[in-house]
Structure 1
């Protein structure tokens, strides 16, 4: 028998995509991430959350193929900015495409191991002035 959380996520027809970039969820009970993925397979991308406070069953529901990398690509194209000037700084699963896409990908010191693997370099943790150190290492300050 499916948990209340899984029933609430059950597919109920075409997903209204206009105006929705992503939705976040925090789950509970006996539902697994694989059940969440199965509920939206082929309709939405599921990114597992990395905030410990939210637990193992949390994450984001996203339009397929829409992520921080595609957003950056669209913005720099619109503004005429060279890809070589892009720097991405992140710490979680929702940052992986961005860290890979940007000319320089920087993981926070407190980042997930996946984010650190996707990045070109790692700075200190957010509470240890990680953004400042990242900006400084790139000559921005």
Structure 2
């Protein structure tokens, strides 16, 4: 329920990641962002995000590229083996191609497509291909990794 332009604008706002996507809801609540408590400035489990945007190339200056690094902390201590790198290419408002790398856990590709269905109603689809073990994906996603 938004304008198609709002979706890529949200992705371009890297600063929001360390606020909105930093804390994890309790494991029993899964990755539902609605149930994430944003009032705690120092939640026990956090994701730390750092990134930048750039133009893909002079020839493809209509495409934006985001480079994003992330890792998890528990009570302020960095959790080993939770680092990830993401490269996302935004092709207009409707297509995002993402490549992510979780190091020894594996790599993957995500295709995000946004299709307008009516005024202020968009259908967002994700197609994910990965060799990451299911248990790590479940752990990472349940611990608030829902922004990746």
Q: Normalised by the shorter chain, which TM-score bucket?
A: under 0.3
Which is greater in Rg?
A: 1
**Greater share of helix:** 1
TM-score by length of 1: 0.25
If the length of structure 2 is used for normalisation, what is the TM-score? Answer: 0.25
